[in-house]
Amino acid sequence: MKPFVFNTTKSIINEPGALKNIADICRQNHISKPLVVTDQGIVSVGLMAQLEEALKAGDMSYDSYADVVADPPEAIIYKALDVLKAGGNDGVIGFGGGSSMDTAKLVALMAKSGETLDDIYGVGNAKGQRLPLILIPTTAGTGSEVTAVAIVTTGETTKAGVVATQLYPDVALLDAELTVGLPPHITAATGVDAMVHAIEAYTSARLKNPYADMLAKQALTLLSENIMTATHDGKNVEARQAMLLGACLAGQAFANAPVAAVHALAYPLGGHYHIPHGLSNSLVLPYVMRFNAVEAKTLYAELAPFIMGHAVEGDDDTVTNALITHIEKLIVDLGLPNTLKDMKVPEADLPKLASDAMKQERLLMNNPRPVSEADALAIYQAAF
């Protein structure tokens, strides 16, 4: 067996309605006045009011920064940090999707360590400690509540990641009552993102390990069984809680067995056309799987029953083909657009996207099959 290290979030609370205990959870984690980091979407659907009510009911004073934007740029991180410094907060609550949670992670770290983003971009460059940190996802997707990663938009179309074990929060709180109002298209796209995390962790070339494998399979069972219900019957709390837990398990898997070419090819779509992260993944997923099948068909065949819900007869090629066809149909049934053309991506841009995807070396090195620029272009053409 290959040597490996497995890290994850220390405490995971999985309970519909658990938000009401947030003040006690803060105190248990030595927070007396948290900064809540969130976005205007969360405010406008009334979720922020629920969190404030729970904090007040538990006699906890707090401050908030509610102006995170999707794919947060550097300036947003620094603004949130200024608010924390002004409020003298001794802990951070990240409340929202990946964008709010990633901002909260960085603020908690930079507030205590004094490091700047430029100091900490990359893997293992953060040296200091962070403030106590609680993450509460309101989408079942990124798994950011259990990853050591925070993604920042650095230029017009470029993103950079901070990867550091300090970014694992003290607590991940999974409360499905917060996700019942998530619109169908966001439920579907973020759910596919979570499925991609599990699939890419299971086929991860360098750091695949038995814990991640186990988590990926359980994640895919929960996500596949519940994604249609959660998308089309959003108020179903049981399906919503299963999606949150599935996304969390997938996050634990890919935090230790990192994602690969699906994410590498998805990032330029987000960067150039602001296509949401989950949808970008969904658009290229079947085509990357077809490309990878030569090397990864045995692993794909192993995953097929967990995604399809039943065994498929035949050799690895047959099972992998059936799995990819199943995923293509799932994307359509979820109501997600399924071609780059549908997303108004100009065909003439495909070579530029392929060249951008090659910059995601951090991800491509995990792919089960090496990807050249010509391969990336062929995948985008197939997805067009």
Beta bridge partners of 12: 172
Taking residues 192 to 231 in sequence order and writing x for each that binds Fe ion by CB under 5 A, - otherwise, the string is -x--------------------------------------
Under the criterion CB under 6 A, does residue 241 sit at the interface with ligand NAD? no
Under the criterion CB under 6 A, does residue 277 sit at the interface with ligand NAD? yes
User: CA 275 from chain center: how many Å?
Assistant: 15
Cβ-closest position to Fe ion: 193
Least separation in angstroms between residue 16's CB and ligand NAD is 13
Q: Which of residues 102-131 bind Fe ion (CB under 5 A)?
A: none
Give residue 178's identity as a one-letter amino acid code: L
Q: Which of residues 181-200 bind ligand NAD (CB under 6 A)?
A: 181-182, 186, 190
**Residue 252 binds: one of ligand NAD, Fe ion, none (C-beta under 5 to 8 A by kind):** none
Under the criterion CB under 5 A, does residue 39 sit at the interface with Fe ion? no
**Alpha-carbon distance 21 to 36, whole Å?**
15
**Alpha-carbon distance 254 to 243, whole Å?**
16
Question: By CB under 5 A, how many residues form the interface with Fe ion?
Answer: 1
Under the criterion CB under 6 A, does residue 166 sit at the interface with ligand NAD? no
Q: If you search the block for the tokens 């908030």, which residue do you land on?
A: 64
Least separation in angstroms between residue 360's CB and Fe ion is 12
Spatial neighbors of 47 by CB under 8 A, at least 6 apart, are 38, 95, 138, 178, 181
Least separation in angstroms between residue 262's CB and Fe ion is 8
Under the criterion CB under 6 A, does residue 356 sit at the interface with ligand NAD? no
Q: What is the number of alpha carbons within 13 Å of residue 85 lying toward its C-beta?
A: 13
Residue 89 or 103 having the CB closest to ligand NAD: 103
**Residue 141 binds: one of Fe ion, ligand NAD, none (C-beta under 5 to 8 A by kind):** ligand NAD
Least separation in angstroms between residue 237's CB and ligand NAD is 13
**Residue 120 binds: one of Fe ion, ligand NAD, none (C-beta under 5 to 8 A by kind):** none
Q: What is the number of alpha carbons within 13 Å of residue 28 lying toward its C-beta?
A: 9
Under the criterion CB under 6 A, does residue 336 sit at the interface with ligand NAD? no
Under the criterion CB under 6 A, does residue 96 sit at the interface with ligand NAD? yes
Residue 159 or 297 having the CB closest to Fe ion: 159
Least separation in angstroms between residue 98's CB and ligand NAD is 2
Under the criterion CB under 6 A, does residue 89 sit at the interface with ligand NAD? no
Q: What is the number of alpha carbons within 13 Å of residue 29 lying toward its C-beta?
A: 26
Task: List the one residue from 98, 169, 268, 286 that touches ligand NAD (CB under 6 A).
Answer: 98
Least separation in angstroms between residue 281's CB and Fe ion is 6
Residue 182 or 243 having the CB closest to ligand NAD: 182
The answer to whether 160 touches 125, Cβ cutoff 8 Å, is no
Residue 193 or 213 having the CB closest to Fe ion: 193
End-to-end CA distance of the chain: 41
Q: Which range, of 27-35, 142-150, 168-176, 235-243, touches ligand NAD by CB under 6 A?
A: 142-150
Which residues contribute to the site for ligand NAD (CB under 6 A)? Answer: 39, 41-42, 45, 70-71, 96-100, 102, 138-139, 141-144, 147, 149-151, 178-179, 181-182, 186, 190, 277-278
